[in-house]
Amino acid sequence: MNEALHVIDQAMNLVVLRRDLTEPPADPAEGDKYAIASPASGAWTGREGQIAVLVNGIWHFFTPETGWRLYDQATKQLLVWDGSEWKPLLETEVPQSFGVNTGADSYNRLAVKSDAALLSHDDVTPGSGDMRLVVNKKTQGNTASLIFQTSYSGRAEVGNSGSDALELKASADGAAWVDSLLLDPAGHTFRVTLNGQERSRWTAAGLGIGTLSPTSLLDVNSDRMRLRNPRTPASPTDSGNQGDICWDANFVYVCTAANTWRRAALSTW
């Protein structure tokens, strides 16, 4: 009776030394346990796939049932019997959610509470040396983005929101959002929006300020421009680049070629 209970106990605690042997080892110890590989031979002939346990010098065998779990000490793997072979547990079970230091749910299927998280290139396999984090959406009209929050209230969002353009928007309360930056791959434009109004746009033609359709490298739609600080070139050959413009109380200066300045006098009216 005690031997039978011991055998049952060995079967219930499926921790095997190895699962790649096809015949008994030369010097087995009492309680040694193996998952028999194929093709079995010797004292294990015909026992492929079974569990062999040495009790009182005699090999006892168990046929695993579908769903039995086993730990292989040699490979440090947790496996499950699928009815025909032992497979790594993670290959047979697809978790519906996963939480680290917190609970996950049907909406937040991956939830992590941590001071930091590291995603690094694969230097174990080894990998390519690259590391890409992919956020995929179904269609152009869906959203793929990252949201930054304060006390679980949104403050900034960057990504593709309802289009394939890269967009940055911000919120003061998590409810009302304002667009700030937008990079449109279709139109090859970059837009800056402030207070709900688009203030500048970069296109293939140039930078437009106050206009959405610039026709030169710098196109300003305004009745004035401001250079805040005066500068007086020391001489007509002072250092400068062609096209530089500056001013002081008496003149407007234009650099017409490298280190070559011209000036026009200012007058009152």
Q: Tens digit of pLDDT for each residue in 29-46?
A: 999 999 999 999 999 999
What is the pTM (predicted TM-score) of this model?
A: 0.62
- Report pLDDT for 11: 56
The reported pLDDT for the residue numbered 194 is 87
Q: Is residue 100 one of the residues assigned to a domain?
A: no
pLDDT of residue 8: 61
Same domain for 230 and 204, yes or no, is no
Query: What local confidence, expressed as pLDDT, does residue 73 receive?
Result: 95
The residue type at 252 = V
Q: Is residue 44 part of a domain?
A: yes
Length, in residues, of the chain = 269
Rg for the chain, CA atoms, rounded: 37
Say which DSSP state 18 is in.
B
| pLDDT at residue number 9 | 60
Considering the domain boundaries, does residue 231 fall inside one?
yes
User: Is residue 102 in a domain?
Assistant: no
In a domain, 247, yes or no: yes
d(CA 200, CA 189): 10
| Domain co-membership, 17 together with 37 | yes
241 in any annotated domain: yes
Residue 160 structural domain: 143-173
Q: Say yes or no: 234 and 219 in one domain.
A: no
Residues 214 and 235 in one domain: no
Q: With respect to residue 122, please indicate whether it lies within any of the assigned structural domains.
A: no
Residues 13 and 86 placed together within one structural domain of the fold: yes
Residues 212 and 249 in one domain: no
Is the domain of 263 the same as that of 202? no
Q: Which pLDDT value is given to residue 135? A: 97
Q: What stretches in the chain show pLDDT beneath 70? A: 1-12, 91-93
In a domain? residue 178: no
What's the total number of domains in the chain?
4
Domain co-membership, 240 together with 266: yes
DSSP strand pairing (58-62 vs 98-100):
unpaired
